[in-house]
Amino acid sequence: MSSLTIPPPPCLQKRLLVPHRYMFGPGPSNVPTRILEAGAKPVIGHMHPEIFEIMNDIKSGIRYVFQTQNKVSLAVSGTGHTAMECAIFNTVEPGDSVLVAVNGIWGERAADMAERIGKAASSCSRCIISPQALSKHSPVLFFLAHGESSTGVLHPLEGIGDLCHKYNCLFLVDSVASIGGAPVYMDQQGIDILYTGSQKVLNAPPGTAPISFSERACRKVFNRTTKPVSFFLDLSWLANYWGCDDKPSRKYHHTGPVTAFYSLRESLAVLAEEGLENSWKRHQRVMLYFHAGLESMGLKLFVKDKDTRLPTVTTIVAPHGYDWKEITGYIMKTHNLEISGGLGPSVGLVLRVGLMGCNSSEANVDMVLAALRDALKHCHKSKV
C-alpha cells in the first residue's frame, strides 16, 4: 500500500507576487490592460463554436499583419521556437537539404533544428543566399531572420523569394522581432512561410505564434512521402483544427490554449485599429529619435548601415571601460526597467533595447536615455 511521502511545499503557501516592470528588452514587451484582461476571460471548450469564431478572427488578423491571402494561416500553440519547428518539421524530409542564413542566434537555431531531422539535412550550408549556393546545395528551404534581434539587423527581403523559387526552394522568414514594426509583404515578397511571436510588437503574453504557408509551401507539405516527426505540429492536423482545409468539419487535434487565443485576438485587433502603416511609421520615428539621443550621449550604434537597423530592437556598442552586466543590473535595480545584454554571438559586445508595440513612444525613449545616463554616471568605469 502506497502513502504520501512528499508533503505540500511551504513555498506554495506564500502569495503570488509579480512586480510591474518596464519591459524594454528584446521581449517579451509590456502587455496593455486590454490584452491582459482578454486573457482572463472564462475558459470555454477548444471545440466550441465561439472559439472557432475567435480563431477565425485570428486568421483574418494574421492575414492582415502578414499581408497575405494564404488560406493556411493560423497560430501555433507555442512560442516562436515552436513556429520555427513547425515550419521546418513540415517542409523538410530526411535527406532534404536546408540552407540557413546564420546572421545571429536565430539562424543558428534554425540550422540546429534542420540538422536534427535527418542525416542529409546536416549538410545545410551556413552562407548567405546566392545562385551558387542554391545551385550547389539544391535546398528545399532557405531560412532568413528578417529581424535579427541578437544583432539588431533588419535584413532586406526584396528579390530573395523570386531567386529561391527559380531553384525550387521555399523561402522561410522569421519575423518574430519585426512584424508590425517594419514592413513585410508576405505575398508580394514571395515569402512561402512566415511566422512571428505574440510577445513582441503584438504585445500579447508569450505562448502563441502566428504562422502562414503559401500555396507553394502547402504543395510541398501536403505531398511529402513521410509523416512530419511531430504529431503536435503536423500541418495537416493543424490546418484542419484551424479550419484552413477543405474538410467539412474540424477534428480534435489538441486542446488549444483558449485564453492565450483571446489575448492574441485582442492584440491583433489593437494593431488593426492603429493600422499597419501607422505602426511601421511610429516604430521608425521613435527609433530615429532614440538613435539620435544615444549618439548625442556619445554612445555608438552596433549596426553601422542605417538602412538595416531594426526599428524594434536597438543594439548599442557596449560602452568602453564598463561591465555591461553592471549597467543592465543597475538600470533594473534603480529604474525598474529591463534592457539586456547581447545574445548568442553578440554577448559581451552590445546592450539591447527593445521598444515594441505600445512601448514604442518618445516618452519611453526619454526614460531609457535617462536611465542610461544615470548608469554611465554611477557604474564603475575602468581607467583603461
Cell numbers that stand for 308 in this block: 538595416
Q: What is the DSSP letter of 293?
A: H
Report which secondary-structure segment, H or E, holds 317.
strand 313-317
Q: According to CB under 8 A, which one of 91, 149, 189, 315 is a site residue for a second copy? A: 189
Site mask for a second copy (CB under 8 A), range 52-91, x = bound: --x-xx--xx-xx--xxx-------xxxxxx--x------
Taking the least distance from each CB to a second copy, the nearer of 79 and 361 is 79
Q: Supply φ then ψ for residue 368, to 5 degrees.
A: -65, -45
Binding to a second copy, residues 123-182 (CB under 8 A): none
Q: How many helices (H) and strands (E) does the chain have?
A: 12, 13
CB burial class (10 A; 0-12, 13-18, 19+) of residue 32?
A: middle
Cell numbers that stand for 82 in this block: 515552436
Report which secondary-structure segment, H or E, holds 313.
strand 313-317
Is 303 a residue that touches a second copy (CB under 8 A)? no
Taking the least distance from each CB to a second copy, the nearer of 275 and 321 is 275
Cβ contacts of residue 229 below 8 Å, gap of 6+?
89, 117
Binding to a second copy, residues 315-344 (CB under 8 A): 338, 343
Q: According to CB under 8 A, which one of 143, 195, 262, 290 is a site residue for a second copy? A: 262
Is 42 a residue that touches a second copy (CB under 8 A)? yes
Is 257 a residue that touches a second copy (CB under 8 A)? yes
Q: According to CB under 8 A, which one of 216, 224, 243, 259 is a site residue for a second copy? A: 259
Is 248 a residue that touches a second copy (CB under 8 A)? no
Is 232 a residue that touches a second copy (CB under 8 A)? yes
Taking the least distance from each CB to a second copy, the nearer of 98 and 134 is 98
Reference 113, options 275, 230, 34; nearest CA is 230
Q: According to CB under 8 A, which one of 52, 116, 282, 361 is a site residue for a second copy? A: 116
Q: According to CB under 8 A, which one of 44, 127, 288, 349 is a site residue for a second copy? A: 44
CB of 272 to a second copy, least distance (A): 4
Q: According to CB under 8 A, which one of 13, 132, 223, 225 is a site residue for a second copy? A: 13
Type of residue numbered 23: M
Length of the chain (residues): 384
Strand ranges, E, within 27-97? 72-76
CB of 217 to a second copy, least distance (A): 18
Measured distance CA(88)–CA(80) in Å, rounded: 13
Binding residue positions for substrate: 352
